[in-house]
Structure 1
Amino acid sequence: MARQSGAAPEPTAKAPKVKKRRWYHQLWQVFQMTRRQDPAITPILLGTIAVVLLLAVVISLLTGSWLWFVALLPFAVLAPMVVLARRAETAAYTQIEGQPGAAMAALGTIRRGWSFTQEPVAVDPRSQDLVFRGVGRAGIVLVSEGPAGRAARLLEAERKRTARVVNGVPIHLVQMGDGEGQVPLRKLPRTVQKMRPTLTKQEVGEVTKRLTALGAARPPIPKGVDPYRTRPDRKGARGR
């Protein structure tokens, strides 16, 4: 029998290893983002470290034992990290404030107990006011973006639409904004989390299914279509 010719298959090359992101890489990224929005963060962090070290020295001198200095030394690292986390949160909210979908970005920081639609459930095509919906053990929450007057009308219309399929379920209306009666962006997650639970987990699942069947508030606008310039097809309306 003739031997089959041909070169042996070359061994497959190993995929390059993905370099892991260490915690200090993420910390440095957070610091850079915060510094862009808050240039004073560098002296604030250095001042925090200096205060902690000075306090450790004073306590050690007063007690006559430098064991206090060793014991308090980790706080020279922990304290500035806590300060950075607070300032980074403020910087992040400042960065997205005023942009469409900012409310959803803030609500997305809620890790447990609530599920929110990624897309708005109601949109005003002229003013671009939005309404987002969340479901949790406190019931349903509708969160609006826009001036108080317009947002109130949009919220009420969505509340009526939602109530038709979830009769008896609490529906909370929240206006995100800086106007009277509105909730500032940075306080929005806390406001939703403080709502009192009234539903069981099984009831939450049932409500979610009903709302999923409810669908969108209106047919989606095709891409590339300007909603301000669209006109009805008059011939089609007359049956021609």
Structure 2
Amino acid sequence: MSNTPLDPSKMSRRRQILETYRMTREVDPSIRWWLLGTFVLAAGLGMALFRFVLPANDGVFSWILSSIASFLIGLFALLIVFGRRAQKAAFARLEGQLGAAARALTLLRRGWVIDEVVGFTKQQDMVHRVVGPPGIVLVAEGNASRVRQLLISEHKKHERVVGEYPVHDVLVGNDEGQVPIKGLVKHVRKLGRQVKPADVTEIRQRLRALDAQRPKAPIPRGPVPTSMKGMRGNLRGR
């Protein structure tokens, strides 16, 4: 049997969901009970609500309509819980892995441009770059003492190139002043909207000269958790 990592982009929707469930269950064994309980509770509440609202004298039609609506409500609630717990499990799988921040940043949607490993050290500390509504966001991961110096260096380089546009620094980790991997995407989004879409284009053009002068370090890939890549299209826990 092949051990080649599965590519979610080449899977059917059904296969993506099954792989997401499998990988989530490895981290969160109670997921089945959460999903079952959510479905039963939501469907039961839906049934009670519809039986209260619909006329009692509609007979079989009323029961059929209530059953279908309750099933859909239960399924919708199940998908919401599944999405949230799958996302939580995906971050737990990434914790401590090389390149985890870059993989987490893939959950940013349209309007964000992610450049992986714009700066790195021989010890595999790295800085990634995100260009979007806040301007430039430099995201560092690795040994805190080493990567801080790398982050400072990259910040200065980017400031010289982009001039008046804002440059933000983010250090990923679990210590004080750092951002946990599970809260990285939310933290980046909360930096706000400080540049216009046209400014993003201008920033990217200015960065081309900087990028042309630096070597590229390939990020160690390994299997990207299906529950992160596949979930972006169909199971976004909101």
Closer/same/farther in 2, CA of residues 70 and 135 from structure 1, 3 Å limit = closer
Q: What per-residue deviation string (whole Å, max 9, x for no partner) do you get for residues 3-44 of structure 1?
A: xxxxxxxxxxxxxxxxx9553332222211211221111111
Unaligned 5+ segments in structure 1 are 1-19, 222-240
Closer/same/farther in 2, CA of residues 204 and 69 from structure 1, 3 Å limit = same
In the aligned structure 1, how far is the partner of 2:78 from the partner of 2:125? 39
Contact 2:118 2:128 (8 Å CA) reproduced: yes
1:125 matched to 2:134:
no
Structure label with greater radius of gyration: 1
Report the AA paired with residue 27 of structure 1.
Answer: I
Aligned to 1:109: 107
Aligned to 1:214: 210
1:160 matched to 2:150:
no
Select the structure that is richer in helix.
2
Report the AA paired with residue 194 of structure 1.
Answer: K
Q: What per-residue deviation string (whole Å, max 9, x for no partner) do you get for residues 181-224 of structure 1?
A: 11111111111112222223332222212212112675568xxx
Aligned to 1:95: 93
In the aligned structure 2, how far is the partner of 1:110 from the partner of 1:220? 22
Aligned to 1:30: 20
Q: What per-residue deviation string (whole Å, max 9, x for no partner) do you get for residues 90-132 of structure 1?
A: 11111111111111101111112210113x1111213x21111
Contact 1:147 1:179 (8 Å CA) reproduced: no
In the aligned structure 2, how far is the partner of 1:77 from the partner of 1:209? 46
In the aligned structure 2, how far is the partner of 1:169 from the partner of 1:61? 58
Matches of residues 36-185 of structure 1 in structure 2 within 5 Å?
A: 36-59=26-49, 65=56, 66=63, 68-118=66-116, 120-126=117-123, 128-185=124-181
**Matched residue SS, 1:164:** helix
**Matched residue SS, 2:162:** coil
**Matched residue SS, 1:207:** helix
Report the AA paired with residue 110 of structure 2.
Answer: R
TM-score normalised by structure 1 residue count? 0.74
Unaligned 5+ segments in structure 2 are 1-9, 57-62, 218-238
Q: What per-residue deviation string (whole Å, max 9, x for no partner) do you get for residues 43-100 of structure 1?
A: 1111112212332454466667455554333112111111111111111111111111
Closer/same/farther in 2, CA of residues 60 and 207 from structure 1, 3 Å limit = closer
Matched pairs, number? 200
Identity over aligned residues, as a percent? Answer: 40
Question: Which range moved further: 58-67 or 136-145?
Answer: 58-67
Closer/same/farther in 2, CA of residues 220 and 49 from structure 1, 3 Å limit = closer
**Matched residue SS, 1:74:** helix
